DNA sequence: AAAACGTGCAACCGCCAAATG
DNA sequence: TCATTTGGCGGTTGCACGTTT
């Protein structure tokens, strides 16, 4: 049996939203909220729209604190850094840019930033780098990425028994993670970030589970659909896992510890991106040293490096990384 | 002035996974 | 356990508008 449509397509309006529709939707949501049911909302609000359409309209355009307009250099850097790290996970990237929606960022990347970087690369190399048609796979070879990929363990630990970071490959920690009672949960209950193939082989298994190394997001979501992406890298933290430094073992690890990419400069004035916990406390940091130059190098190197450095036996053509 | 072309962005589509009954 | 519903996400499309020829 096929899947039922989310709405009666024959009786829903499509296309651009009129100011009247906008105000209806806005007024309704401000008055009653979404009620946790987008499908039923348009009828209640007197709109002849698909629930999904209402949801998108609200989250991408109508909800408060949406930021429109030019992206700053700082935002460029963050986007590039995260794209180089996790690929086209726009909702995650958006979570680091308050007020920006994933749709905005996606559009910005596809229409401007990518071209900008390509132009810069072409200029430096005098040849245009090939760029995959699919945005999902960043043009990053595992080898080149490894040159950028920072093991942040030193940020966490002086003499770590074990440490890993948001950008540490699971391959180096997965045995620890998997060899415990939580293995099943980890393997079956956690979603896995769709990991670009070029990254899978070398560095990334990024299991998603709550309460661990979250990409934080404000209650007002920056995802285009306000999904409040809270992506965590690794399985759920247990008390015994806090034996390594950098995670505040003594205080335990509580829910809702979220990490945000904190862009700024270090004492030397150099630009750094740091993973900082929010809203309170501090459990460590991870410097993301990607900048535009790095991304340019990533792009350019993709034309010369074979991106299929396959150290991973599970490597296949599926873009979705999987463990086990 | 008008057609052709390029660009940016809002919106839609379809897939996936979680939730629910 | 399975079918169905719903929310979430990323890719793609189509249109409006600006620029070029």
pLDDT for A124: 65
- Inside any domain, residue A160: yes
Residue nearest to nucleotide B7 (CA to C1'): A111
> Could you tell me the residue range of the domain that residue A205 belongs to?
65-324
- Inside any domain, residue A1: no
pLDDT for A53: 92
- Asked whether residue A106 falls in the same domain as residue A36, the answer is no
| A13 contacts: CB under 8 Å, gap ≥ 6 | A21, A48, A49
- Asked whether residue A254 falls in the same domain as residue A171, the answer is yes
- Asked whether residue A70 falls in the same domain as residue A207, the answer is yes
- Inside any domain, residue A140: yes
Query: CB–CB of A155/A287 below 8 Å?
Result: yes
Rg (CA), chain A: 21
- Asked whether residue A44 falls in the same domain as residue A115, the answer is no
Q: How far is the CA of A136 from the C1' of B15 (A)?
A: 15
pLDDT for A81: 86
Query: CB–CB of A140/A196 below 8 Å?
Result: yes
A105, A256, A258 from A319: Cα distances, Å: 21, 29, 27
- Inside any domain, residue A2: no
List of A residues 67-106 with CB within 7 A of strand B? 68, 103-104, 106
- Inside any domain, residue A3: no
Q: Which of A62, A84, A99 is the last residue of a domain?
A: A62
- Asked whether residue A44 falls in the same domain as residue A164, the answer is no
Q: How far is the CA of A324 from the C1' of C6 (A)?
A: 29
**Alpha carbon distance A255, A217 (integer Å):** 14
pLDDT for A268: 45
Q: How far is the CA of A266 from the C1' of B16 (A)?
A: 41
- Asked whether residue A25 falls in the same domain as residue A73, the answer is no
- Asked whether residue A107 falls in the same domain as residue A228, the answer is yes
The pLDDT tens digits of the residues spanning A210-221 come to 333 333 333 333
pLDDT for A35: 82
pLDDT for A64: 85
- Asked whether residue A112 falls in the same domain as residue A178, the answer is yes
Cα A242 → chain centroid = 25
* CB proximity A191–strand B (7 Å threshold): yes
Q: How far is the CA of A157 from the C1' of C21 (A)?
A: 62
pLDDT for A265: 44
- Asked whether residue A53 falls in the same domain as residue A188, the answer is no
Grouped pLDDT means (10 residues each) for chain A, 324 residues: 54 88 91 86 89 90 85 88 85 88 89 78 55 36 34 30 33 34 32 34 33 35 38 33 30 35 45 41 36 51 35 33 29
Nucleotides of chain C within 7 Å of a protein C-beta?
3-12, 15-16
CATH number of residue A50's parent domain: 1.10.10.60
- Inside any domain, residue A229: yes
- Asked whether residue A33 falls in the same domain as residue A49, the answer is yes
DSSP collapsed to 3 states, chain A: CCCCCCCCHHHCCCCCCCHHHHHHHHHHHHHHCCCCCCCCHHHHHCCCCCHHHHHHHHHHHHCCCCCCCCCCHHHHHHHHHHHHHHCCCHHHHHHCCCCCCHHHHHHHHHHHHHHHHHHHHHHHHCCCCCCCCCCCCCCCCHHHHHHHCCCCHHHHCCCCCCCCCCCCCHHHCHHHHHCCCCHHHHHHHCEECCCCHHHHCCCCCCEECCCCCEECCCCCCCCCCCCCCCEECCCCCCHHHHHCCCCCHHHCCCCCCEEEEEEEECCCCCEEEEEEEECCCCCCCCECCCCHHHHHHHHHHCCCCCCCCCCCCCCCCCCCCCCC
Bridge-based pairing of strands A214-215 and A231-232 is antiparallel
Q: How far is the CA of A159 from the C1' of C10 (A)?
A: 40
pLDDT for A91: 87
Domain count, chain A: 2
Q: How far is the CA of A194 from the C1' of C8 (A)?
A: 14
- Asked whether residue A48 falls in the same domain as residue A162, the answer is no
Length of chain A: 324
Nearest nucleotide (C1') to the CA of residue A320? Answer: B16
Bridge-based pairing of strands A271-278 and A258-265 is antiparallel
Bridge-based pairing of strands A207-208 and A231-232 is unpaired
- Asked whether residue A239 falls in the same domain as residue A315, the answer is yes
Nearest nucleotide (C1') to the CA of residue A18? Answer: B10
- Inside any domain, residue A4: no
Dihedrals φ, ψ of A227, to 5°?
-80, 0
Query: CB–CB of A100/A51 below 8 Å?
Result: no
pLDDT for A126: 55
pLDDT for A292: 52
- Inside any domain, residue A115: yes
For a pLDDT cut of 90, what percent of chain A falls above it? 6
Q: CB closer than 7 A to strand C: which residues?
A: A 1, 3-4, 6, 15-16, 34, 36-40, 51-52, 55, 88-92, 102-103, 106-107, 110, 133-136, 194, 223, 225-229
């Amino acid at each position: 049996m096929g899947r039922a449509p989310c709405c009666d397509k024959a009786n829903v309006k499509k296309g651009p939203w009129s100011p009247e529709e906008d105000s209806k939707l806005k007024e309704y949501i401000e008055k009653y909220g979404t009620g946790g049911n987008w499908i039923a909302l348009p009828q209640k609000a007197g709109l002849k729209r698909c629930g999904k359409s209402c949801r998108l309209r609200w989250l991408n355009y109508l909800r408060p604190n949406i930021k429109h307009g030019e992206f700053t250099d700082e935002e460029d850097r963050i986007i590039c850094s995260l794209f180089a790290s996790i690929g086209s996970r726009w909702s995650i990237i958006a979570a680091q840019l308050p007020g920006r929606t994933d749709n905005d960022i996606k559009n910005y990347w596809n229409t401007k930033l990518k071209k900008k970087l390509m132009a810069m690369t072409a200029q430096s190399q005098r040849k245009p780098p090939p760029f995959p048609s699919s945005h999902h796979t960043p043009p990053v070879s595992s080898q080149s990425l490894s040159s950028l990929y920072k093991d942040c363990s030193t940020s966490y630990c002086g003499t770590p028994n074990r440490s890993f970071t948001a950008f540490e490959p699971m391959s180096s920690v997965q045995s620890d993670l998997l060899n415990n009672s939580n293995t099943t949960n980890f393997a079956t209950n956690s979603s896995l970030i769709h990991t670009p193939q070029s990254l899978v082989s070398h560095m990334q298994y990024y299991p998603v589970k709550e309460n661990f190394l979250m990409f934080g997001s404000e209650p007002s979501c920056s995802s285009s659909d306000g999904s409040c992406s809270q992506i965590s890298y690794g399985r759920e933290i247990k008390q015994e896992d806090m034996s390594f430094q950098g995670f505040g073992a003594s205080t335990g690890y509580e829910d809702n510890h979220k990490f945000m990419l904190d862009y700024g400069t270090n004492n030397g004035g150099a630009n750094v991106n740091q993973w900082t916990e929010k809203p309170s406390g501090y459990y460590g940091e991870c410097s993301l040293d990607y900048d535009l130059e790095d991304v340019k190098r990533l792009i350019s190197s993709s034309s010369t490096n074979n991106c299929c450095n396959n150290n991973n036996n599970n490597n296949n053509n599926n873009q979705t990384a999987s463990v086990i």
